[in-house]
Homo-oligomer: A and B are copies of this chain.
Amino acid sequence: MNTIFFNAHHAPMGAFATFTLGYKGAKGGFGLEIGKPADQNVYIGLEGKNPGVFKALPFYATSDDERKRYIEEDLAPAGDSSPVLDSFRDKAISRQFKVSSDTWLAGDLRFSVYSPFFPIPDPLRAPENECMLALVPAVLVELTVDNLASGRARRAFLGYQGNDPYSHMRVFGDESSGLRAVGQGRITALATIDPHVKCSLNMSIEKCLDPGAERQRVFGLGHIGSMLMDVPAGTKQTFRFALCFHREGMVTTGIEAPYWYTRYFRNIEAAALFALRNFDTLKARALEADAAIEHAGLSDDQRFQMALAIRSYYGSTELLEWQNRPFWIVNEGEYRMINTFDLTVDHVFFETRMNPWTVRNTLDMFADRFSYRDKVLLPGNPEEFAGGISFTHDMGVANAVSPPGYSSYEQPGIDGCFSYMSHEQLVNWLLCAGVYFAKTHDENWLSGRMNTVEACFLSMLNRDHPDPARRTGIMKLDSSRAASKAEITTYDSLDASLGQARNNLYLAVKCWAAYVFLEFVFLREGKSEWAQQAAQQASRCAQTLLSHVKEDGHIPAVIDENNDSRIIPAIEGLVFPLYTGSPEALNPSGRFGALVKALKKHFETIMVRDVCLFDDGGWKLSSTSTNSWLSKIYLCQFVARKVLGVPWTEKARRSDAAHVAWLQDPGNAYYSWSDQMHAGVAKGSLYYPRGVTSVLWLDEQAA
């Protein structure tokens, strides 16, 4: 490992909240609805060998005592002998980082955070208690003090300094339930039901810890809240806590929606009590998740990346209630865009594995509120042709839900970034629908949505060419929404080789996959003519791509447009037939065997140093950009091995080590999991959910 001091999310599911910890300094803490670590002081530690000297994990900044703001210097009590706080040394600290538990060991202290994850049941159908377990906005902590060898009692502590601008820190509790907590306002709290734990609130952590200041243990003006645990000599004790979040009432604009969990937990006290009373169950689920990943046959490097990515994903998840129905949201990491569709299509493998109903929920929301109809234009030609349905790039940003039919991102008349992604999102809807249906066989849903599926097909045809005779299976017309500018793809900020949608190799292979799914679904529905037409489009697409293979075997990133970048995501779309019910389409001896073989050749040709490999062995998505995205690398690694059968040599494994090194680089490790790496430096898509494409790796073992 490069450093153990990397931030990791510990996020409840669906609460748009995360307790982030691991990067040194005041760089973690309780993050609610924000796109970065909360940058709070977190105090976790234990009294040392010398009384009054406390050792803590290094997750705080040294700061002035707030009392000085109130007291004239010459009035400050002389000879103040406050306790002293010091950090454990790095080499005294070790970490056991797993997908659902994260344990820090230092001296006689053991500190574990459990952030269980498991399928979230459809809350309209599941028993309430199961929903409560899944959606309780809290994660769990165990803090163990080994005081067996000590001849005196020692004080351990767990505290934080919130930074909500509106409300104050507080100590609270309830005698009848035994709840004890420190928290900030109504939104974050650290709670226990252990009667041996005391709460403190003060203007410095040292004041909180001061055993000589028992009478001033709770100071209403304090900015720092801490739990205090006095562990008797010769004993070993474990204390349990819940780290809780809560936001009540309407939280969105554009629509008015509260968090779904507020149905079960009217305030943070209720959430805390439920989490603490169900500690055993929730911890057991966390350990199950740990074990499942531990025994999945992954390499250490793979396991680390997947664990960090899954945690980061959950920190972006949000389940709201709108019109008495669930509204599932994945926020886009640092950007906080709501259900960015080109992320949804990457999350679909994880979500159909965990809780497929969230995919259905998102598809329904896109179809019902975030679809639109456009016209389409040939480049350089003002004539408008019939277009069709497409879907918005996203549904808003940071709880600001955008108006029906519009995203927060897309703008008309823009070159490059922030232009429309009409064709890509159209294909994404079909592919997500395909993955959802193949996983669930939800016939009811599919028949209810066949109108949309058919509209999507017609829309794709119209974007190929208005004249059926001139169709080639790939996108050649831009949306009128883009107002005479070019549509772009999800690779908006990478480089032109991947950014332009028209004639784009990456998008073409996804179109092919969409046509393959359409053939499949039309056949099922007995619409044989439509199925035939879809099959024809898939074949045309394959033919078009095959006709552009260059001598060395690579296919240019943008065909027919004088762009000769080499791109790894050419193979990305090959993942879909595996998950949309048409694995036979990937058969090298089958109908599309030539395409599959050509793409394998393309891949093998470009995966060389200085083309699509960095010096460290890391993958370079485009030969003409240093910006490379881990989520897409994970996906393409899977395709290379599982679909193309590329042998995974020791040299290939070097890439995983390189990608781990990127994430654990001290310059990047603050952001937990990040996507956009510029030659290994995290520069965009920080603190991001998209890395769950890595769960595809779990399907390689099964084969």
Contact = CB atoms under 8 A, between A and B. Distances in A.
A398 B222 CA distance: 12
A165 B168 contact: no
Copies of this chain present in the complex amount to 2
Contacts of A256: 267
A221 interface: yes
Contacts of A215: 411-413, 483
Interface residues of A, number: 65
B71 A493 contact: yes
Contact of A418 (B186, B219, B267, B396): B219
A33 interface: yes
Contacts of A164: 165
Contacts of A219: 408, 411, 418
Nearest to A416: B75
A354 interface: no
Contacts of A443: none
Q: Max chain B CB contacts within 10 Å: which of A69, A221, A248, A499?
A: A221
A621 interface: no
A165 B34 contact: yes
Contacts of A77: 415-416
A620 interface: no
A341 to B, nearest CB: 14
A70 B168 contact: no
Contacts of A447: none
A2 interface: no
A406 B221 CA distance: 12
B216 A414 contact: yes
A406 B185 CA distance: 18
Interface string A483-495: 1000000001111
A585 interface: no
B220 A407 contact: yes
Given A70-B418, A220-B409, A408-B220, A399 B168 contact: yes
Most chain B C-beta atoms within 10 Å of own C-beta, residue among A167, A220, A267: A220
A478 to B, nearest CB: 15
B70 A186 contact: no
Interface string A477-520: 00000010000000011111001000000000000000000000
Given A220-B406, A221-B418, 8 more contacts: A33-B166, A72-B625, A166-B398, A170-B253, A183-B253, A220-B409, A221-B337, A221-B397
11 contacts: A69-B684, A70-B492, A70-B684, A77-B416, A168-B396, A185-B400, A186-B250, A220-B397, A221-B337, A221-B418, A256-B267
